[in-house]
Structure 1
Amino acid sequence: MAHTPYPESYYAASANAVPPRPALQDDIETDVCVIGAGYTGLSSALFLLEHGFRVTVLEAAKVGFGASGRNGGQIVNSYSRDIDVIERSVGPKQAQLLGQMAFEGGRIIRERVAKYNIQCDLKDGGVFAAITAKQMGHLEAQKRLWERFGHTQLELMDQRRIREVVACDQYIGGMLDMSGGHIHPLNLALGEAAAVESLGGTIHEQSPAVRIERGANPVVHTPQGKVRAKFIIVAGNAYLGNLVPELAAKSMPCGTQVITTEPLGEELARALLPQDYCVEDCNYLLDYYRLSGDKRLIFGGGVVYGARDPANIEAIIRPKMLKAFPQLKDVKIDYAWTGNFLLTLSRLPQVGRLGDNIYYSQGCSGHGVTYTHLAGKVLAEALRGQAERFDAFADLPHYPFPGGQMLRTPFAALGAWYYGLRDRFGF
């Protein structure tokens, strides 16, 4: 049987030690079968186990193999489309409920880290950096919007203030969110997997779900076994493939690229980011960066629609890093990798149920670290019969990409080109 290892990344190279998790080779029964051992699946499993469910998690490769173990590691609140956009689409009542949940994912992460003693280099503080006056105006409006929903750990920064937290000349101001922050994303996933197992849950790696047999007691088939369950949670996101055809039509895998420098040393690292906050700019095609626990700069950006792997990741991302930090021109890049996230046309997550017993959440659209942890809680609530918050997400309108799967990539790339021009020229 094929064995799928982690991709070569800084996160895989610095991952905490974990026990082997053998592939499923039996026919078993459980209350809930979770497909995918990323953040959505692990968060769902943890909440369900804490409420007495028997849970089996199937992972096609290794825990955190997908976006959960490859992302920029930034704890960013709200959704890829903010609450005001949601309000215009669905009205104030539904938006109020979704707005109340918009800042919950980061709290869940911190609760998990504390409760289960997860070693993942958790740091507080995230900066949204404005390059233009228009972007600064957007941050001022965003602060007012978030404060409407009780989120008050925010500080607007002028040009002088932002230079105190990031040594980059591009920015005219920004906003600091002290409930934001950053983590080693793969170690967070590995710690959550260990927590799942500590509560009696089972995780089978190298066990892709190849077929779902639907019905009153659905069965998930793997190459060497099968799981009969009362409920299924589909949490494969960009790595689900065509296992559930209904979910593939309204989403598109996209790739983002990340590089990691050699260790910078305490002095240079502190000069770049004195408070060790993470940063993302306000462009549509944004750049994001932070320091690792061993003082490397982790820098990401760029989107490849359709999730193709670029031939030379460093050639794409290093110029972006040097534009922000020209003082790093002689610094070596030790790691470069790509990872896929799942994009929806609305940029909002897709949540729902197929039949009576197959639940799903997908399509975080680049905003997944916090949302996925919330999603796990919301899915677990729905399985326990508390569906109000689940329904608030499930009722969001979603549409297929124009032209179907064949044309979704060029249409999305054309849109990105347009917004890239807006970023460049400030209109």
Structure 2
Amino acid sequence: MDLMSRDVKHRVDVYYDYFPPKSMNVEVKLVPVGEINGIKSVLKKSTLVAAKDFKAGETIYKEKPIVAALDADLIGTGEYCSYCLREMDKSTAIRVPLDPFESTYCSQECQHAADEQYQSLLFSTLKLATAANPSPTQTKVQVEERRHALEAFAAYIKENGKTASLMILRFVGQLLADEHQRLIGSTINLELPEVPKESKLAYSFYDYIERLRSIEVVSGPSEEAEMEHCRGLLKLALEGLEEFLDDEKYLTLKGKVAYNSFGVYYGAGRTHRPQPKGAPESHERTRTPHGTSHQIGSAFYRVSSYLNHSCAPSTRPSFESGTSELHLIATHDIKKGDELTVSYVGTKRRSHDKNAFDARKHRRMELARGWGFACACPRCESEALNMHLHEQNEAEVPLPTHEARLEPAVAKYLETP
């Protein structure tokens, strides 16, 4: 193995020595998958485990999202902050002039953070100054062209009721901001793994992103339309920038957003969210124990993305600060080394469920449609035995399962014994 290969392997091997931060009281562990379709697998999967003991009701950690977005029907209403998703009084909201998304902020801090991370680069009609072009100029035609493209994208989001493409662009904005700051020897606060200066290690925003699981997204008419909007905006922001987001990268990022996003809700959640359009398989879903239909927005977290699902979870997400900051709460006593799990879907029996079997079937179908797996958690296994489902195979509905995906370089590493 040559020196460069050893250096790369070392960077990969020690990543989880620095991530998550020790202050969050959790660790990522790689454990054998076991069997896939009856065949023993050499793959490993990442799990989040407790780094100390916790009592039921105790807060394990608090985490702010990498990126968040309000639900499409709430964009521009002024009811919630466009950055932290805080509920606010319309009369005190800070509004951005000439913004096609009609962004509103609860504070100057939130407005500044949005500008620094993605707003100025991608969602403004003014070109961003760069080292090569510190005083960019635009013609009136160029300004109008960019404004029209932004308005068309905003209209597309609101019409379709889906925000994945908006979150992807905000992702891209942060990726580009991270790279730009590195080039000029500065940084923005993306909360990347902190490493000792003497180690000479440095991790980028994408080092984090590439380690996350995703679902496979196949390009269709909606994806084609999304990519056209996104690449058009990138090109208008900076010539050549559209090449950064090719088809493969867009679909990969969409798969990561779909697999890892959490639903943000306050209290028991809202009850007036519009019904999603299209077939159930095409609906956007987020991890939330109250169900996506009760959220006000979606958010993507660097550590919480590692939480696996259980229908009898050891933790629950809470948004008690009134923002998209996630508080992870222990649902029962947890010992050091125990895996931490959350429920990706609502697990309570609904009013129209005929019986426990019907409730089980519904939540398992939601998991299969949204995350591609047939849940085999202890609760599902126990209920299967209690209801003698082995004698009711005709009643079991086939689940539309598919494997969660990892990027090739990460998958290759996880296959290493």
TM-score, structure 1 as length reference: 0.26
Q: Which has a greater percent of strand? A: 1
- The structure, 1 or 2, with the larger RCO (C-alpha pairs under 8 Å, 6+ apart) is 1
Decide which structure has the larger Cα Rg and report it.
2
TM-score after normalising by structure 2: 0.26
